[in-house]
Structure 1
């Protein structure tokens, strides 16, 4: 593990490696100041073997600080303290890397570089420095040539995104549409070049990096680029970075009640969408997929668990159903969808309907209603009040936060069936009370 740790403990005699002749006057004063602050004025004068007047003159730049005083001062500092107070160039001079005449001791530099063979942190730091500062030189040394590759969005690229990518496949139609628009606007017809790489790197929309990287992976899959070019471009163009942003999501119960009542009265189909999201903790895209692909008659086997079951399971005595949607191989999975018997009646009425995600969002925004993203959050907050977080995660398919073994899967399914009626009751009461308070 020490190879990954950039800080290592210094030798007690680290100062014996220092050539004090390379330390400038300003850095010498900083060293004395540090010793004085650490030991106190009187003690510092004592250990350095100088008078108080001399110390005053040294610290105020009235007299040049002799090398022997610095030699006596260094043992009273740790190496990390020395590095903090001394300027970087002076530090290189003090270690003998930069000679007194300003020339460089290349043998020492090469010895330091050789440490990268056994120090992973140093190796990564060197690679980053070279890529950031000598990209063009490195490309020429590696013989990397872009050989007139033109960017063109076609069906084969879409198929690659949806079916042939080795890691996360891109199957959401809205994401494909967004990627296509970005590609057509900024990349279509352009040749792969250093200018294009710089353009993508500096573009304000960081999603363009993802689209660019997907296309490079596609080219590599087709063997249109060499492994050297592929590796080079994937290193130079990092994917869009994700910043952990802790944002509050204030969800007013009265607003939730108002939203549900307005949709129930004015748009039954969108009311169904919101009801599914709220009762099952679904994302909007999953709720729309459920409505469009609903098929109550199938018998399925849950992959990896060996559980054979009807896709739609209704527990009439408990007042709810669960439906196996089975979205697994994406970053946002959705296995079981839980909903009430009342919702089932609406679902059967609208099954097979294709509903646009954008249309739903536009409608609720235009009427000042809660956005779809708040339904899953509201559901989570209410759900964990009546059941354990583990069961709530299972119901809402939050599998990034939950590891489920085959043996535990059926236990969680049973627990979810047991606790879900309590959630439905709690949800109805919460919305009902909020609507009464509002009126």
Structure 2
């Protein structure tokens, strides 16, 4: 069933430019949803390189296994994505389904099956009828186009209430290089590379190994720094395709100064997509940024920030616009990381609510309660132990989350 568009949805969408060497089409295959697109087929020009980061779940989908098997070659000519069925926990049928899906896409595009990448998201445990692709892949291949990107973003949605797109452009010696991406994700979000899928396309000529080296750090500060409900999907997939069509010398080393510039733009695109995922968290009404400073290490700060972000008690207090900072204290204390109660400081926005292990002497309940009515909430925690810091992004937890997930399969 359709759900109301998130109140945190963007008011406008950027007009994503064409990416030379990338064409795509969408279709209605009726995999789960009716009267909406649920399949995306993309074609890449010869010479396209690929890098990817996949879920660390020990129960990965068949599509994740397929991508993991073929990423090492670093070559891509096509991408086939479906929504509505994750093709996860489907045993031998799942293996057969991905093989057939890749063959159908390869026949439609006239490229090797091992250079087709696959992604599926939706219900776990239901066999995916890949024959449904047979009725649409050939037809899609006949109308591939370089836009509009919003159509591609819409076709991969499941419980998402709005499409997610982002773009950036950098120049090398006056030549523009485009990086554009789409993503889907709304629930089961705590990526650890969370039915989270993201696909990024660039015309940069960049070696697959370099692209892979640049991708993981960008993931760590984007998709791996968001959580909606602490659940990591069986299907988390982020793939970056580089067609090499931009008229610049190839980037063949991570030491190339241009690689640093490219990596910053890639990080910006992934970060924007990740924030869209949080803002579309199932039932979300508030966007929450949690920053932990003064930890013994960055990893320790991240684990404490995650503890706060994943706490149902913290998230429900925010949903109720309740400045219950005691729940932040609780979440810091349970994280299993170094913390000193008597050095702890907590702030909501610019309002410090706790310091040196007790309520701030200047604490103003009225002012803090007024702050909690905002759509965007910033929570800052100071540990006073070291220089480690980290930021995690999350949303509140409302009854809407229960409603969406309670009827997900019905």
Shorter chain as denominator, the TM-score bin is under 0.3
Q: Give TM-score scaled by structure 2 length.
A: 0.22
**Rg comparison, structure with higher value:** 1
Higher percent of residues as strand: 2
Q: Give TM-score scaled by structure 1 length.
A: 0.21
Q: Which one scores higher on RCO, CA 8 angstroms, separation ≥ 6?
A: 2
